[in-house]
Structure 1
Amino acid sequence: MSNTAFPGESQDPRTTEAAQGPVPASGSGPEPTGEQPLTGEQRAAIAELLGSIDTIADELGRRFAANGHELAIVGGPVRDALLGREVHDIDLTTDAVPQRILETVEGWADAVWTVGIDFGTVGLRKGGYQLEITTYRSEAYQPKSRKPEVSYGDSLYEDLVRRDFTVNAMASRLPGNAFADPFGGLADLAGRRLRTPGRPEDSFSDDPLRIMRAVRFAAQLGFTLAPEVKEAAAGMADRLKIVSAERIRDELVKLMLSPDPRTGVELMVELGVAQYVLPEIPKLRLEIDEHHRHKDVYEHSLTVLDQAMELERERGMQPDLVLRLAALLHDVGKPKTRAFEDGGRVTFHHHEVVGASMSKNRLSALRFPKDVVADVSKLVALHLRFHGYGKGEWTDSAVRRYARDAGPLLQRLHVLTRADCTTRNRRKAAALARAYDDIERRIERLEQEEELNSIRPDLNGNEIQEILGIGPGPLIGKAWRFLLELRLENGPMGREAAAEELRRWAEKHAD
Structure 2
Amino acid sequence: MERTRLLTAAWDAVRRHDRTLTTLAAAFTARGHSLYLVGGSVRDALLGRLSHDLDFTTDARPDAVTAILDDVASTVWDTGIAFGTVSALLDGMTVEITTFRADQYDGESRNPEVTFGSSLDEDLVRRDFRCNAIALELDAAGDHRLRDPQNGIDDLVAGVLDTPAAPEQSFHDDPLRMLRACRFASQLGFTVAPRVLQAMTEMADQITRITVERDAAELDKLMLGDQPWTGLDLMVETGLADHVLPELPALKLTQDEHHQHKDVYAHSLQVLRQAVELERELTGTDRELDDHQRLVLRWAAVLHDIGKPDTRAFTDSGAVTFHHHEVVGARLARRRLRTLKFPKKTIGEIGQLVFLHMRFHGYGDGAWTDSAVRRYVTDAGDLLPELQILVRADCTTRNRKKAARLRRICDDLDARIVDLKEKEDLAAVRPELDGNEIMQILGISPGPEVGKAWAFLKELRLDRGPMEHDEAVAELTAWWAREHGEDPAQS
For normalisation by structure 1, the TM-score amounts to: 0.88
Between stretches 317-326 and 42-51, larger displacement belongs to 42-51
2:308 is the counterpart of 1:334: yes
Q: CA offset at residue 228 of structure 1?
A: 0.8
Task: Give the direction of change, closer, same or farther, for the CA distance of 1:461–1:258 in structure 2 (3 Å limit).
Answer: same
2:215 is the counterpart of 1:251: no
Q: CA offset at residue 378 of structure 1?
A: 0.4
Query: Quick check: 1:262–1:306 contact (8 Å CA) kept in 2?
Result: yes
Q: CA offset at residue 135 of structure 1?
A: 1.0
Task: Give the direction of change, closer, same or farther, for the CA distance of 1:209–1:122 in structure 2 (3 Å limit).
Answer: same
Query: Quick check: 1:101–1:122 contact (8 Å CA) kept in 2?
Result: yes
Higher fraction of helix: 2
Contiguous gaps of at least 5 residues in structure 2: 486-491
Task: Give the direction of change, closer, same or farther, for the CA distance of 1:139–1:367 in structure 2 (3 Å limit).
Answer: farther
Q: Give 3-state SS (helix, strand or coil) of 1:394's partner.
A: coil
Q: Give 3-state SS (helix, strand or coil) of 2:410's partner.
A: helix
Q: Which residue of 1 aligns with 2:442?
A: 468
Query: Quick check: 2:14–2:50 contact (8 Å CA) kept in 1?
Result: no
Which residue, out of 38, 61, 66, partners 1:97? Answer: 61
Distance in 2 between residues matched to 1:445 and 1:53, nearest whole Å: 49
Q: CA offset at residue 139 of structure 1?
A: 4.6
2:226 is the counterpart of 1:262: no
Q: Give 3-state SS (helix, strand or coil) of 2:268's partner.
A: helix
Q: Percent identity at matched positions?
A: 54
Which residue, out of 397, 401, 412, partners 1:423? Answer: 397
Q: Which residue identity is paired with 2:214? A: R
Which residue, out of 267, 277, 302, partners 2:244? Answer: 277
Residue correspondence of structure 1 range 41-80 to structure 2 within 5 A? 41-80=5-44
Contiguous gaps of at least 5 residues in structure 1: 1-35
Q: Which residue of 1 aligns with 2:359?
A: 385
2:96 is the counterpart of 1:124: no
2:286 is the counterpart of 1:286: no
Cα RMSD over matched residues?
2.1
Q: CA offset at residue 168 of structure 1?
A: 0.9
Q: Give 3-state SS (helix, strand or coil) of 1:359's partner.
A: helix
For normalisation by structure 2, the TM-score amounts to: 0.92
Q: CA offset at residue 50 of structure 1?
A: 4.2
Q: Give 3-state SS (helix, strand or coil) of 2:51's partner.
A: coil
Query: Quick check: 1:204–1:211 contact (8 Å CA) kept in 2?
Result: yes
Which residue, out of 200, 224, 233, partners 1:233? Answer: 200
Residue correspondence of structure 1 range 204-223 to structure 2 within 5 A? 204-223=171-190
Q: Which residue of 1 aligns with 2:347?
A: 373
Q: Which residue of 2 aligns with 1:28?
A: none
Q: Which residue identity is paired with 1:162? A: R
Query: Quick check: 1:147–1:243 contact (8 Å CA) kept in 2?
Result: no
Q: CA offset at residue 146 of structure 1?
A: 5.3
Distance in 1 between residues matched to 2:279 and 2:145, nearest whole Å: 43
Distance in 2 between residues matched to 1:310 and 1:55, nearest whole Å: 37
Q: Which residue of 2 aligns with 1:303?
A: 270
Distance in 2 between residues matched to 1:381 and 1:453, nearest whole Å: 20
Query: Quick check: 2:52–2:93 contact (8 Å CA) kept in 1?
Result: no
Task: Give the direction of change, closer, same or farther, for the CA distance of 1:163–1:501 in structure 2 (3 Å limit).
Answer: same
The aligned length equals 475
Q: Give 3-state SS (helix, strand or coil) of 1:158's partner.
A: helix
Residue correspondence of structure 1 range 477-488 to structure 2 within 5 A? 477-488=451-462
Q: Which residue of 2 aligns with 1:155?
A: 119
2:416 is the counterpart of 1:442: yes
Q: Which residue identity is paired with 2:49? A: R
Q: Which residue identity is paired with 1:323? A: L
Q: Which residue of 2 aligns with 1:85?
A: 49
Deviation sequence 1:370-399 (CA, Å, 0-9, x none): 211111110001111112223311222111
Distance in 2 between residues matched to 1:283 and 1:308, nearest whole Å: 22
Query: Quick check: 1:139–1:207 contact (8 Å CA) kept in 2?
Result: no
Between stretches 273-282 and 467-476, larger displacement belongs to 467-476
Distance in 1 between residues matched to 2:481 and 2:34, nearest whole Å: 85
Query: Quick check: 2:186–2:231 contact (8 Å CA) kept in 1?
Result: yes
Q: CA offset at residue 70 of structure 1?
A: 2.6
Q: CA offset at residue 274 of structure 1?
A: 1.0
Q: Give 3-state SS (helix, strand or coil) of 1:417's partner.
A: helix
Q: Which residue of 2 aligns with 1:403?
A: 377
Query: Quick check: 2:42–2:50 contact (8 Å CA) kept in 1?
Result: no
Query: Quick check: 1:165–1:197 contact (8 Å CA) kept in 2?
Result: yes
Which residue, out of 61, 75, 95, partners 1:111? Answer: 75
Name which structure has the greater RCO, CA cutoff 8 Å, separation 6+.
Answer: 1
Task: Give the direction of change, closer, same or farther, for the CA distance of 1:158–1:502 in structure 2 (3 Å limit).
Answer: same
Query: Quick check: 2:110–2:173 contact (8 Å CA) kept in 1?
Result: no
Distance in 1 between residues matched to 2:337 and 2:215, nearest whole Å: 11
Q: CA offset at residue 222 of structure 1?
A: 1.6
Q: Which residue of 1 aligns with 2:488?
A: none
Between stretches 142-151 and 95-104, larger displacement belongs to 142-151
Q: Which residue of 2 aligns with 1:352?
A: 326
Q: Which residue identity is paired with 2:22? A: D
Which residue, out of 134, 146, 149, partners 1:170? Answer: 134
Query: Quick check: 1:122–1:133 contact (8 Å CA) kept in 2?
Result: yes
